[in-house]
Amino acid sequence: MPEWSRVFPRRLGALSGAAAVGAAAYGAHDFHRSDRDDYLKELYETANIYHFLHSLALLAVPHCRYPLMAGSILSRGMGMFSGHGMTGDPILTKALPYGGSLLNLGWIAMAP
């Protein structure tokens, strides 16, 4: 297996984790000062938690048998699942079930 197939998901996980920390800082300082309703604030926090947890999962991806497949599936699922909560865009609500399914498939892809 080429080395880049193990390095890519690790770097993606590290960058995703850094983005999750930045998003958490934004949520803690700027987002909560706004006039957005409590539901959107809670949605943002939940999306950020899922984003951070799955960033940690991406760090483990290089140790599985198919790192590119698992990393690709997890990262797409993170974008679709957390994207709605991070942006508050109601159009992305339709992507939630697909994103959640991809997250589950990403975990399964790490199993073999």
32 three-state secondary structure? helix
pTM of the model: 0.82
Lowest mean pLDDT among 7-11, 17-21, 68-72: 7-11
21-78 pLDDT, tens digit per residue, is: 998 888 877 766 666 677 878 888 888 999 999 999 999 998 888 888 999 999 999 9
The CA–CA distances, whole Å, from 106 to 9, 64, 75, 91 equal 12, 11, 8, 24
pLDDT value of position 36: 66
Q: What is the pLDDT of residue 102?
A: 95
Sign of CA dihedral 43, 27, 91, 108: negative
Residue 51 carries which DSSP code? H
